[in-house]
Amino acid sequence: MNTDIEFHKKLFLNFLIIEKSLSENTLFSYRSDLERFIKYLNEIKKISNVKEIDDNIINQFLKHLNKHGDKNEKKYSDKSVARFISTLKSFFKYLESEDVISINPVEELESPRTSRTLPEVLTIEETELLLSMPDENDKLGLRDKALLETMYASGLRVSETSDLETGNIFFDEGYLRVIGKGSKERIVPIGDIALNFIVKYINESRSLLKKSKSGNIIFLNFRGGKLSRMGILNIINKYSNLAGIKKNVHPHTLRHSFATHLLKGGADIRIIQEMLGHSDISTTQIYTHIDREYLIEVHKTFHPRA
C-alpha cells in the first residue's frame, strides 16, 4: 500500500470535494494547513511515510508552530493552532477509515481553549449612514447601493452575494434563494427597500455593465464579470471611509449587524439561525452576547447609579 503523505493528502482533498462538498475557502484552509505540516515533516523530520507519524511528532510540530510562526515570523494564535489540530484530526481520521494507518496519532490530542471574540457591529445609525453614501445617479453607485442594501437586508455572506443570480430573487414573494456553505440551499427574506434598489439597478445600471460573459449574475464589475470578494470588500471600505465610520468595517460586519439588529428588535434566535444558515445554534448564540454587551453599555450610560 502507498503510504506517501503527499499522495494521501491529494486523496483526502478529493474526498472533501466529492463527499463533503466543502466551500472553496474551507478547502483552501485544509490544503494550506496540510502543506504546512508536510513541509515540516520533509524539512525538519525528513519523513514522508504516514505510518512513521506518531503523537510525539505531532506535538513537536505544534510546538514548532508556536516557536516559528508563519513566514512573517509571527507566532500562531491559539485559534490558528486549534484550526491546525482540527485539520490533522480530520486527515488522520480519514487515513484510519481507509485502513492506511492502524493507530491515530491525534486521537487523544486536545485543542487549546480559545476565547470567542465578539464581532464588531454597526449601530442602526451607522448602518443608515453607510447605506446613504453611494451616489444613485452613477451606474456603479447604484450597483453599490443595491449591493449594500441586499447584504444588510438579508445577512448574506460575501460569497453568497457574489454568486447571487437573477433567478434566485423572487420579487413578488419577497425572498432570496441562497446557496450557502457546503452547497446548502436556504430561503432568506429581503425587504421592499432592498428589492426596489435591485429593480432600479437591473433596469438602469446592470444593463450598462452587462456583457456576453455576465450570465445571470446580479452584481457585476465594470468589465461585466462577477464582482469578486475583494471587489465587494473594496466597495464596503470605500463607503465606510466616506461615512467616517471609525470601526473596522468589512463584508461580514453587515451580516453581524443584520443579526444583532434583528435580535434587538425581538426576533427569535432560532429564526435568525435559519436566516444566517448556521447549522449549529451555538454559532448564532454569539449575538446574544453582543446584545448583552449592548444592554450593559446602555445601563452604564443612562442609569444614575451605574
Grid cell digits, residue 4: 506517501
8, 157, 206, 256: which is the annotated catalytic residue? 157
31, 68, 186, 252: which is the annotated catalytic residue? 252
Per-position DSSP letters for the chain, written without gaps between them: ---BHHHHHHHHHHHIIIII---HHHHHHHHHHHHHHHHHIIIII---BGGG--HHHHHHHHHHHHHH-STT-PPPPHHHHHHHHHHHHHHHHHHHHTTS-SS-TTTT--PPP-PPPPPP---HHHHHHHHT-S-TTSHHHHHHHHHHHHHHHHT--HHHHHH-BGGGEETTTTEEEEE-GGG-EEEEE--HHHHHHHHHHIIIIIHHH--TT-TTBSSB-TTSSBPPHHHHHHHHHHHHHHTT--S---HHHHHHHHHHHHHHTT--HHHHHHHHT-SSHHHHTHHHHHHHHHHHHHHHHH-TT-
The CA distance from 231 to 211, in Å, is 18
287 is catalytic: yes
181 is catalytic: yes
89, 210, 278, 294: which is the annotated catalytic residue? 278
89, 181, 210, 264: which is the annotated catalytic residue? 181
157 is catalytic: yes
Mind telling me the catalytic residues?
157, 181, 252, 255, 278, 287
